[in-house]
Amino acid sequence: MPLRDETAVVLDFLPKGHATGRPEPLVQLLGNKYFTLLEAVAREGIVVKHGDKVYIGDGERKEIDHIKRRINMNDLTTFARSELPFIIEKIVKDEEARFVDFYNKSQPISTRVHQLELLPGIGKKHMFDILGERKKAPFKSFEDIKSRIRLLSDPANLIAKRIVKEMENENERFRLFVLGMPHRF
């Protein structure tokens, strides 16, 4: 079974589509699980708003008629691109348990690099602090991480920044959160 998102967040809605091309109601979406960027066609007469969560799985879809294509950051509208970091951070905070689990279960990638070190601002010292604390007891929340690792002020934001980096760079060597291109829908 292919890896794909079942739900997505609306980044932008273009009721008449792009200036060039067929006039059809287009929706730019961000998948909730794999952070896939998609362009879809909305059902006739449906209006969606920025931030709405929509179903894009195989079952019956209420708002989305069909997925048109997978897109990259360069294909996003200016509005969608500007809102993307905020939407990603909201997803990370809404799915806190999933991302706290990353801090609890991350592993070495090689003898020199650990998954934690791929987060912006995490070097060897922070990595060893996190590993030491999680040995004592698993982290329960972002607040728990912040209180136990004093110099780590915003663990959710570090994950959100890493996700944006993986989305911006299609040639990123190590992917922790974003499904790589290409992928058919």
The verdict on 72 and 120 lying in the same domain is no
The verdict on 110 and 140 lying in the same domain is yes
Is 49 part of any domain? yes
d(CA 31, CA 29): 6
- Here the CATH number for the domain that contains residue 111 is 1.10.150.280
Mean pLDDT of the residues in the chain: 92
pLDDT beyond 70 at 18: yes
Is 178 part of any domain? no
The verdict on 77 and 40 lying in the same domain is yes
The verdict on 100 and 128 lying in the same domain is yes
Is 58 part of any domain? yes
3-state secondary structure of 5: coil
Residue 179 pLDDT grade (very low, low, confident, very high; cuts 50, 70, 90):
confident
The verdict on 76 and 100 lying in the same domain is no
Is 1 part of any domain? no
Q: pLDDT digit string (tens) for 59-90?
A: 899 999 999 999 999 999 999 999 999 999 99
The verdict on 63 and 102 lying in the same domain is no
d(CA 89, CA 15): 26
Q: pLDDT digit string (tens) for 113-149?
A: 999 999 999 999 999 999 999 999 999 999 999 999 9
Residue 1 pLDDT grade (very low, low, confident, very high; cuts 50, 70, 90):
very low
Question: Which pLDDT score is estimated for 185?
Answer: 38
pLDDT beyond 70 at 2: no
Mean pLDDT in residue range 97-103: 97
The verdict on 129 and 75 lying in the same domain is no
Sequence-distant (6+) residues with CB within 8 A of 155 are 99, 100, 103, 142, 145, 146, 149
The verdict on 104 and 77 lying in the same domain is no
- Here the CATH number for the domain that contains residue 23 is 2.40.50.140
The verdict on 67 and 130 lying in the same domain is no
Q: Mind giving me the DSSP string for 74-136?
A: GGS-HHHHHHHHHHHHHHHHHTHHHHHHHHHH--BSSSS-BGGGGSTT--HHHHHHHHHHHHH
pLDDT beyond 80 at 170: no
Is 23 part of any domain? yes
Q: What is the count of structural domains for the chain?
A: 2
The verdict on 101 and 62 lying in the same domain is no
Range of the domain at 58: 7-81
Percent of all residues in the chain with a pLDDT value above 90, rounded to a whole number = 82
